[in-house]
Amino acid sequence: MAATIPPGAAADTGRNGRTGGLGRGRAVADADERATSRTLTDRNVAALARIAAGHAPRRRSCDDRSVPAVARVEPLVTARAVRGPFDYLLPDGCDVGSVVEIPFGRQRLRGVITELAERSEHRLKAPSAVLDVSLPPELVRLALWMADDVVSTRARCLELLLPPDGVGERIRLWAERAGEAAVDPAADDPDAERYPGVRLTANQRALLDRLPGWTGDDLQALRRLEGRGLVTIEPRGHGRRPDHVALGAAAGAPVLNPDQLLAVQRLEDALRGAGGTPGPGEDRFLLHGVTGSGKTEVYLQAAQRALAMGRTALVLVPEIALTPQTVARFRSRLGETVAVLHSGLSKGERRDEWWRLRRGEARICVGPMSTVFAPVSDLGLVIVDEEHDSAYKQDGDPRYDARRVAAWRARENGAVLVVGSATPRPESWNALRRIGLPRRADGGEMPAVRLVDVRGIRTVLQREVHQALTDARKAIVLLNRRGWATWLECADCGHSWECPNCDVSLVLHRGSGVLRCHHCGHVEHPPRQCPACGSVSVGQHGLGTEQLADHLPGHVFRLDADVRDRSGVLQRFQEADHGILVGTQMIAKGHDFPDVELGVVVDADATLRFPDFRSQERTFQLVAQLAGRAGRGGGPSGARASVLVQTRSPEDRALRHAARHDAHGFLVEELERRRQLDYPPFSTLVRVMCEHEDEDRAQAAASVLRERMPEGTLGPVPVFRRQGRFRRQLLLKAAHRGSAVAAVRAAVESVVGTPGARGLVLAVEVDPR
Ligand SMILES: Nc1ncnc2c1ncn2[C@@H]1O[C@H](COP(=O)(O)OP(=O)(O)OP(=O)(O)O)[C@@H](O)[C@H]1O
Ligand SMILES: [Zn+2]
């Protein structure tokens, strides 16, 4: 979500929170009313409890200098123009991180206390309620840092760190034996009467036997026993657990090979040193292990060590649906202490997992990027698996990079940071201490990769590639475009089918029978004839995964963003005796299938064609990762798997290194090239996109902004229209990240308040991917 500026927001509400003051009675009454008029959620329960205990927000003298009496509160609103913090009276028992409800203009808003102060120059109101959720102070600092670091707002960042709003604890009835029934028979005498002196039916006896427990369907029967004083029943919080995250078979730990042992040892040493004062960068590692080298096992054992030392751990994976194996392995080995947080959970499940972490009941959190915000204390270890994956970069505002946040949290807590990959980013290669796993864990060989020159070849698959696919028992085929055909064109007049909201072609999806825009989701019926000339010969161009699946021999499993049950497809492929898995880059992510003999890249040049300084890096990663899925689990005696890469640029540097599994050679050259061209990691890029439904206004805003941006800013450059908005891009390449980001923030904020900014969307991205 980017910043839209509500007209006049700053002028209307900006300072209201700092003026006037409601008396204590009013504030309490309000909290009370709200609490009783709704269902009991966390916030209301907390407010009631405080009022009952006489802890209502108390008015204090503002010139009492010895104790903080003022809470600086950041209201949780999305508008960029509302910028806190605002001063309120500090309620008893509140501290930095407390979440309160505040009167704000005519509204009541949730807000987070970000600072305390001794006094304020304003007459202050009291918060109308204190909610029973609070953030650890570390996470408040994180939100404030992040807002600056990615040019977002504090409110948006704080919101990311809080558990879902509006869902309370789930309450169920809990029953226990009482009175005479509570007396246990002598344990060593199996013939003893179980409930001496109590007359019971067989059913009632069975019921008592299963207690203590939730009442469930037996409530009525239990109530009768309660009436006889044999059972007590009381409401209790009943945690929601994300049970659909597979626990997996409780596999034992394999014996580590010498490389893995060394890696775990180094991490353990760092864990022992962590929390002390290690030298700069001493506790930040890159685990560079070839594909299939057993990195997960190293993470697991390092995490076990951290837990044993009384610390907590975070484990980030790129996407949960694609990495069920990793999560399952952590859960089966470490058990209940593992929490999962991700968007696939229900609100209630997320709330309960959040609280398990906050209370310290769970001490390790595994999951996708948002896991980096898990509210653990005593953080000892932060792991980022497949660190090269661009899924770690958030699309909407705040456009944070989970890897950067991971590094921040590790530093802030004196924790050890480990990022791992077979194809690390140049940034990590340059900055971190390297631990290598140079061999496959199963002792097998890396697959042989061959580049297949397809210049002049008109078929989708070169003959030899097709033959190899026919012969292979199990294969994986990569094509990074989904749909059936990526564009349609009238063979007679050249008319093409474009999205009405975006300047892009519509993609034909034959399975669902529609033309679809991949940028805004617009759909329409596929044409029978050309609307411009009436011709019925409409050409289909650009091969997508859907059509490719049709070209492949044998049993085909397709995996791309159009497929709903992605983990199901992966599982079925895994269990199948033979077949081909075809799909976009998601088939190349960390999967561990034991018996894939062949990997094929259909169009290796697709990523190379992108006009982007990262195109080589991406191509290398994609091809090397795809190659890494083949030949696993074969062991030293297994037949060597092969990988065929179709390309029109067989001399390309990235492809040649990928074919040799030579990440080291690729990175050394790539870093040298970046140094010469002054690209990241030797500089920082900041991109600002100015978007408006009106093209002139997008251009005008971009020009004004450009004037205020630091010297050297390039643009405005038109970028294709998207979701009905014209776009202009400004790009800054800067030597010093901090000052560049600060300058861009100042420029953006200076435009945001102005009348010309109406309807303008500004999307700032630091280190665009
Ligand atoms: N010491 C070991 N002995 C035998 N097998 C092992 C050992 N360590 C790991 N394995 C197995 O090796 C396989 C590959 O491990 P893992 O998936 O962790 O590799 P990886 O390094 O993460 O690879 P990728 O980068 O391709 O995702 C798994 O099936 C794992 O169970
Ligand atoms: Zn569109």
Residue 120 has pLDDT above 50, yes or no: yes
Does any ligand 1 atom lie closer than 6 A to the CB of residue 442?
yes
Does any ligand 1 atom lie closer than 6 A to the CB of residue 325?
no
How many alpha carbons fall within 13 Å on the CB side of residue 312?
A: 26
Q: How far is 116 from 118, CA to CA, in rounded Å?
A: 7
pLDDT of the residue at 431? 92
pLDDT of the residue at 279? 53
Residue bearing the CA closest to ligand 1, atom 26? 291
35 CB contacts (<8 Å, ≥6 apart)?
Answer: 44, 45, 47, 48, 51, 129
pLDDT band of residue 768 (cuts 50, 70, 90) is: confident
Write the class of the CATH domain 9-161.
alpha beta
Least confident of 44-53, 115-124, 540-549, 578-587: 44-53
pLDDT band of residue 280 (cuts 50, 70, 90) is: low
Does any ligand 1 atom lie closer than 6 A to the CB of residue 257?
yes
Which structure tokens are listed for 114? 């970000």
Whole-number Å distance, alpha carbon 637 to ligand 1 midpoint, is 17
CATH T-level assignment (fold) for domain 684-766: Alpha-Beta Plaits (3.30.70)
Does any ligand 1 atom lie closer than 6 A to the CB of residue 260?
yes
Does any ligand 1 atom lie closer than 6 A to the CB of residue 295?
yes
Q: How far is 604 from 610, CA to CA, in rounded Å?
A: 12
pLDDT of the residue at 186? 56
CATH superfamily of 448-482+544-675: P-loop containing nucleotide triphosphate hydrolases (3.40.50.300)
pLDDT of the residue at 275? 56
Whole-number Å distance, alpha carbon 294 to ligand 1 midpoint, is 3
Phi/psi class of residue 155: alpha, beta or left (left: φ > 0; alpha: ψ in -120 to 50)? Answer: alpha
pLDDT tens digits, one per residue of 122-176 = 889 999 999 989 999 999 999 999 999 999 999 999 999 999 887 777 778 888 8
Whole-number Å distance, alpha carbon 440 to ligand 1 midpoint, is 7
pLDDT of the residue at 91? 94
How many alpha carbons fall within 13 Å on the CB side of residue 754?
A: 13
Q: Annotated binding residue at 533?
A: yes
Per-residue CA distances from 108 to 17, 38, 127, 394 (Å): 10, 15, 9, 30
Give me the amino acid identity at 131.
L
Question: Where is pLDDT greater, at 28 or 378?
Answer: 378
Q: Which atom of ligand 1 is nearest to the CA of 385?
A: 22
Whole-number Å distance, alpha carbon 756 to ligand 2 midpoint, is 26
pLDDT of the residue at 216? 85
Does any ligand 1 atom lie closer than 6 A to the CB of residue 291?
yes
Residue 340 has pLDDT above 50, yes or no: yes
Whole-number Å distance, alpha carbon 255 to ligand 1 midpoint, is 12
pLDDT tens digits, one per residue of 464-509 = 999 999 999 999 999 999 999 999 999 999 999 999 999 999 999 9
Whole-number Å distance, alpha carbon 593 to ligand 1 midpoint, is 10
Whole-number Å distance, alpha carbon 323 to ligand 1 midpoint, is 14
pLDDT tens digits, one per residue of 232-244 = 888 877 776 765 4
**DSSP alpha helix (H) spans, 487-628:** 545-551, 566-575, 605-608, 615-628
Q: Provide, rounded to the nearest whole percent, the portion of the chain with pLDDT above 70.
A: 86
User: Which ligand has the nearest atom to the CA of 523?
Assistant: 2
Averaged pLDDT for residues 90-110: 93
Least confident of 571-575, 633-637, 665-669, 695-699: 633-637
pLDDT of the residue at 643? 94
Whole-number Å distance, alpha carbon 506 to ligand 2 midpoint, is 8
Please name which of 407, 430, 408 lies closest in space to residue 419, comparing C-alpha atoms. Answer: 407
Per-residue CA distances from 665 to 289, 640, 655, 656, 670 (Å): 15, 23, 12, 10, 9
User: Which ligand has the nearest atom to the CA of 724?
Assistant: 2
User: Which ligand has the nearest atom to the CA of 506?
Assistant: 2
378 CB contacts (<8 Å, ≥6 apart)?
Answer: 310, 311, 312, 413
Whole-number Å distance, alpha carbon 460 to ligand 2 midpoint, is 28
Residue bearing the CA closest to ligand 1, atom 25? 291
Q: Where in the chain are all domains bearing CATH 3.40.1440.60?
A: 9-161
User: Which ligand has the nearest atom to the CA of 325?
Assistant: 1
Which structure tokens are listed for 224? 């009768």
Does any ligand 1 atom lie closer than 6 A to the CB of residue 441?
yes
Q: Which atom of ligand 1 is nearest to the CA of 296?
A: 18
User: Is residue 365 a contact partner of residue 374, using CB atoms and an 8 Å limit?
Assistant: yes
Does any ligand 1 atom lie closer than 6 A to the CB of residue 317?
no
Whether domain 258-437 has CATH 3.30.420.10: the reply is no
Q: Which atom of ligand 1 is nearest to the CA of 251?
A: 31
Averaged pLDDT for residues 630-659: 86
Does any ligand 1 atom lie closer than 6 A to the CB of residue 263?
no
Residue 451: count other Cβ atoms within 10 Å of its Cβ: 21
pLDDT tens digits, one per residue of 180-226 = 777 665 555 656 677 777 788 888 888 888 888 888 888 888 898 88
Q: Annotated binding residue at 62?
A: no
Q: Where in the chain are all domains bearing CATH 3.40.50.300?
A: 258-437, 448-482+544-675
Does any ligand 1 atom lie closer than 6 A to the CB of residue 767?
no
Per-residue CA distances from 296 to 135, 287, 410, 438 (Å): 30, 10, 19, 15
Per-residue CA distances from 87 to 16, 82, 106, 710, 753 (Å): 10, 14, 16, 33, 22
User: Is residue 225 a contact partner of residue 231, using CB atoms and an 8 Å limit?
Assistant: yes
For the chain, counts of helices (H) and of strands (E): 22, 30
Name the residue of 291, 297, 661 to mutate for ligand 1: max ligand atoms within 8 A of Cβ: 297
pLDDT tens digits, one per residue of 428-471 = 998 999 999 999 998 888 899 999 999 999 899 999 999 999 99
User: Is residue 94 a contact partner of residue 138, using CB atoms and an 8 Å limit?
Assistant: no
Q: Which residues neighbour ligand 2 (ion) by CB within 5 Å? A: 499, 501-502, 517, 519-520, 522
pLDDT tens digits, one per residue of 662-677 = 999 999 999 999 999 9
What is the DSSP secondary-structure string of 694-738?
A: SHHHHHHHHHHHHHHSPTT-EEEEEEEEETTEEEEEEEEEES-HH
Residue bearing the CA closest to ligand 1, atom 29? 592
Q: Where in the chain are all domains bearing CATH 3.30.70.600?
A: 684-766
Average pLDDT, the chain: 85
Whole-number Å distance, alpha carbon 498 to ligand 2 midpoint, is 8
Tell whether omega for the bond before 398 is within 30 degrees of 0, i.e. cis.
yes
Q: Annotated binding residue at 365?
A: no
Residue bearing the CA closest to ligand 1, atom 7? 441
pLDDT tens digits, one per residue of 18-71 = 333 332 323 323 333 333 223 334 444 444 344 333 343 344 444 444 578 999
Does any ligand 1 atom lie closer than 6 A to the CB of residue 592?
yes
Does any ligand 1 atom lie closer than 6 A to the CB of residue 444?
no
What's the predicted TM-score (pTM) here? 0.83
Does any ligand 1 atom lie closer than 6 A to the CB of residue 292?
yes
Name the residue of 260, 290, 295 to mutate for ligand 1: max ligand atoms within 8 A of Cβ: 295
Which structure tokens are listed for 747? 């420029």
Residue bearing the CA closest to ligand 1, atom 31? 294
Strand 107-117 and strand 284-289: pairing? unpaired
Does any ligand 1 atom lie closer than 6 A to the CB of residue 457?
no
Whole-number Å distance, alpha carbon 594 to ligand 1 midpoint, is 10
pLDDT of the residue at 604? 93
Residue bearing the CA closest to ligand 1, atom 14? 292
How many alpha carbons fall within 13 Å on the CB side of residue 48?
A: 13
E strands in 252-323: 284-289, 312-316
pLDDT band of residue 637 (cuts 50, 70, 90) is: low
pLDDT of the residue at 723? 93
User: Which ligand has the nearest atom to the CA of 518?
Assistant: 2
Residue bearing the CA closest to ligand 1, atom 22? 295
